[in-house]
Structure 1
Amino acid sequence: MNVRKLAIKGGAGLGGTILLAGAMWLHAYQPKVEARMLDPIRTDGGVGEEVATPAFTVRVDGVAAARSLAPDSILDGEPAVGTDGVYVVVRARAMSRDEPVELRSAVLETPGGYTYEAEPRPGGDQVPGAVLQPMLWTSTAFVFELPKNRLAGAHLVVGTGGLLPQLSSAADIDLGLTGPRAADLVRKAPERYNVREGS
């Protein structure tokens, strides 16, 4: 009887060791999940086109560059919010399809794999985020800060974000920023750009 218990315990220990070794081997050789596999489902388009995703429709109306942003203050004499690079302001209109949604992610992707998120600039003028309603166009603007030499070839990726990004919608919009056009935008970029007014 003791021999039988010893054989059962020894067999269980040996079986557990084999299973653990197999799990470690599988973990070492499992296929790696690429970051792109976790990206949202993208719908492509260009400036002036209505890009329709399953959750929302967006249209980019224009792209502007600025050397500095007007301050978000009613007081005169406040300094402009500057940058070592350039501010890129993408003006758009959007509406949801069936239910209210919020565009939680806006990223400017540039050649070479660089990404820049739309973030409010402390002290700078900005357009507050809006909840998109079904069949009602809402105007918005996304402000990005990036190096001057990264503007050419940039495209906007805007989406609903969420806990499972691979199940969300995103619009990938080519901003038409060829090398000469991007250089022209940077060269003509104004100081104290007012994001709300677009000037």
Structure 2
Amino acid sequence: MAVVSSETEGREATAGGRERARRGGVARRVVGVVAGIAFAAAAVYAQTFTLSFDQRGSALTVKGAVGELVETNRFSAKVTSVVAAHAVESKDTTDKVTEVETSNLFLVVDVTATTPKRPLQLSRLQPPVLLTADDRRYTPTDKVDESLTLFNKVIQPGLWSKGVLVFEIPEDALPGLRFVLIPPQGGIVVDTFVPEAEIDLGLSDAAAARLVSQAERVHSLVGKS
């Protein structure tokens, strides 16, 4: 019967351990390379296909004017009226009616919207904006209770939802102002082929001056959501 000394056994065990360690190291390097390639590919995809607001092509923008229905394949929307005010009545956390002021001008945009297939709810992360003639963007103010605005509505397929969006904007930004509605999107990858509605508010220099001169001292939002 063959006898294997403890010294021989030790050498074999050490060699086997080195071989296993080598195989494990190779496997870890392969996994690392694959993960690196996948991460790089994802980064390239995001940089290539996630466009900024300014890079969106005009082919995805459906345009209209105040009072007109703007229809896309994801939603339809209409701005029915625009009101200017120096202050608005909102609610605080206890539901007490409070008067909120601004150093600029509140613009209260009355919007009606529907969707053909899927429910839609506006999001603060991807909100509608007011776009000025020189491409400045203004998001809805956070000074008013969202329960009084269109943010509080779920726009259902086949049904029309109505609500207001309130913006703070300087008077000199009014001429040429447009309302832009883009459906909010979830997930990491942004679908750049989602259409947007761009609605001209009809504010020429004369119309903007008239809107300012007729601005309400205080406009109540309470009871109008």
Q: TM-score range by the shorter chain?
A: 0.7 to 0.9
Find runs of 4+ consecutive structure 1 residues off by over 6 angstroms.
none
Does 2:86 align with 1:37?
no
Asked if the contact 1:71–1:125 (Cα under 8 Å) also holds between the matched residues in 2, the reply is no
Describe the SS at the equivalent of 1:82: strand
Does 2:115 align with 1:96?
yes
Asked if the contact 1:85–1:148 (Cα under 8 Å) also holds between the matched residues in 2, the reply is yes
User: How far is 1:103 from its partner?
Assistant: 3.2
Does 2:130 align with 1:112?
no
More helix, by proportion? 2
1:1-199 → structure 2 map (5 Å cutoff): 35=52, 36-38=54-56, 41-72=60-91, 75=96, 78=98, 80-104=99-123, 105-122=127-144, 126-129=148-151, 130-162=153-185, 163-164=189-190, 166-196=192-222
User: How far is 1:159 from its partner?
Assistant: 1.5
User: How far is 1:71 from its partner?
Assistant: 3.2
User: How far is 1:197 from its partner?
Assistant: 5.2
Paired residue type of 2:192:
Q
Describe the SS at the equivalent of 2:206: helix
- Structure number with larger C-alpha Rg: 2
Residues 159 and 103 of structure 1, relative CA distance in 2, 3 Å threshold: farther
User: How far is 1:195 from its partner?
Assistant: 2.5
Residues 124 and 182 of structure 1, relative CA distance in 2, 3 Å threshold: farther
Q: Name the TM-score, length of structure 2 as normaliser.
A: 0.65
What CA distance in whole angstroms lies between the structure 1 residues aligned with 2:133 and 2:79?
A: 20
Residues 115 and 52 of structure 1, relative CA distance in 2, 3 Å threshold: same
Task: Quote the sequence identity (%).
Answer: 27
Deviations 1:59-105 (A, max 9, x none): 110111010111315547x4x21111101111011001111122332
Paired residue type of 2:170:
P
Taking only aligned residues, the RMSD between alpha carbons, in angstroms, comes to 2.7
**Structure 1: gaps of 5 or more residues:** 1-30
Asked if the contact 1:69–1:124 (Cα under 8 Å) also holds between the matched residues in 2, the reply is no
Count of residue pairs brought into register by the alignment? 166
Q: Name the TM-score, length of structure 1 as normaliser.
A: 0.73
Asked if the contact 1:46–1:173 (Cα under 8 Å) also holds between the matched residues in 2, the reply is yes
